[in-house]
Amino acid sequence: MRFINPKTDYAFKKIFGSDESKDILISFLNALIYEGHSTIEDLEIINPNLPPRVQGLKDTYLDIKAKLNDGTLVIIEMQVLNVQAFGKRVIFNAAKTYAFQLQAGEGYRMLKPVIALTIADFEMFADRDSLISRFVYREKQDGYIYPENEIELVFIELPKFTKKLNQLETITDKWIYFIKYARSLTEIPEGMDDVVELHRAFEIANQANLTPSELEDLERREMFIYDQQGAIALGREEEKRIIARNLLDRLDDATIAQTTGLSIKDVEALRGEKQN
């Protein structure tokens, strides 16, 4: 068996965002937002259609919107590229979703809470070790939570998930493992098969269920993502080198390396280039 990559837009929406995926999405959201508790009893997937076959930046991120049984709106986004100002975009999307609930003439009492769940395939908060981060409105001095705390931001940083298959303990662990590693698996792992919704997610992700044209489209999307990741990494490496060159006359090699993240060998090479 081979599985499609849940990190791509088509695969993610096929697994979690189709009309027949409601139970899968409920299990997924209960695991990632509510620590495995069966808080969500029912939901409505608002945009169930799979994304069109278009090329461009849209291929680097995706979103699903769901309305929970208590009216809460959840927007789910998987971001594979650490693009500029991504954190601002998360806030913008959450605020826009909250504000655009009201129809003409409706009062603010009609507004329902919004939860923005972001799964990042990179580290967003390098100074934090936590795999899952939750942000709400709090009073700055004593941490008192704002009474009308209607917007919550939840982040899952996949690079911080380091558990091996035999270390998976909770349903949260299992869902995150699925998102991060499904593409590299050749069978449904023992110990993950006991969750009905997770088993169905694996079945949907099985490449044998896709047509040749769907597989070709998925491969193009993955190649696009890999190319963009390479371009971003190359650009950041060049930024480090530019900063290092500007520091050569002011700091020693070890300090420059520590400041920029370059190796001492790279800094020595830059100094040699300048001297030549």
Mean pLDDT of 35-47: 90
pLDDT at 246 over 60: yes
Mean pLDDT of 187-203: 91
What is the length of the chain? 276
Structure confidence at residue 77 (pLDDT): 92
Structure confidence at residue 57 (pLDDT): 39
232: pLDDT confidence band, cut at 50, 70 and 90? low
**Strand intervals (E) in 108-158:** 114-120, 132-135, 151-157
How far is 157 from 144, CA to CA, in rounded Å? Answer: 26
How far is 250 from 97, CA to CA, in rounded Å? Answer: 49
pLDDT at 245 over 50: yes
How far, rounded to the nearest angstrom, does the alpha carbon of residue 21 sit from its chain's CA centroid? 19
Q: How many CB atoms lie within 10 A of CB 172?
A: 21
Residue entry with tokens 């380091």: 162
All structural domains of the chain with their residue ranges: 9-209, 226-275
Identify the three-state secondary structure at position 120.
strand
How far is 214 from 218, CA to CA, in rounded Å? Answer: 6
pLDDT at 58 over 80: no
149-177 pLDDT, tens digit each: 999 999 999 999 999 999 999 999 999 99
What pTM was estimated for this model as a whole?
Answer: 0.78
Share of the chain above pLDDT 90, in %: 50
When computed from its CA atoms, the radius of gyration of the chain, rounded to whole angstroms, is 22
Q: How many CB atoms lie within 10 A of CB 160?
A: 17
Q: Are the CB atoms for 150 and 98 separated by under 8 Å?
A: yes
pLDDT at 276 over 80: no
pLDDT at 233 over 60: yes
How far is 196 from 81, CA to CA, in rounded Å? Answer: 31
Q: Where are the alpha helices (DSSP H) in the chain?
A: 9-16, 22-33, 86-99, 171-181, 196-205, 212-247, 253-260, 264-275
Tokens representing 90 are 């998360």
Residue 28 CB partners (closer than 8 Å, separation 6+): 16, 175, 197, 201
**DSSP string of 159-196?**
GG----GGG--SHHHHHHHHHHHGGG-SSPPTTTTTSH
pLDDT at 244 over 60: yes
Tokens representing 57 are 């930046």
Of 211, 185, 177, nearest to 3 (Cα)? 185
Of 27, 41, 100, nearest to 70 (Cα)? 41
Average per-residue pLDDT for the chain: 86
